[in-house]
Amino acid sequence: MTITVRFFASIRERLGKSEDHVAFQGIGTAADVWQRSAGIPAPANTLVAINQEYASLDSPVRDGDEVAFFPPVTGGSVAPVDPRARS
């Protein structure tokens, strides 16, 4: 049995893959999935979703789950913050 792993945006680019499949054996949490598939430390602010619901690296993973890793989201409109309001 396997876990489906998905990577998006800058994380996808850095790892050079958008999807992976890892064996469930030895997997307890999303952090284990990351370690198994990525092999490098997770970037700060990495977001996690399990079966399309927000979760965390500590969240338990069950056999057959889809586990996704991605950077902070940037949808909606472009740059709505007034740059003059920044330091």
Q: Give the footprint of other proteins on this chain (CB under 8 A).
A: 6, 8-10, 49, 52-54, 68, 70-83
Looking at the Cβ atoms of 10 and 23, the one nearer to other proteins is 10
Minimum Å gap between C-beta 10 and other proteins is: 5
Minimum Å gap between C-beta 70 and other proteins is: 6
Looking at the Cβ atoms of 14 and 62, the one nearer to other proteins is 14
Q: Give the pair of three-digit tokens for residue 68.
A: 């996704």
Contact 43, 71 (CB under 8 A): yes
Looking at the Cβ atoms of 21 and 26, the one nearer to other proteins is 21
Tokens 């940037």 -> residue = 74
CA distances from residue 60 to 42, 65, 80, 86 in whole angstroms, order as listed: 17, 10, 36, 39
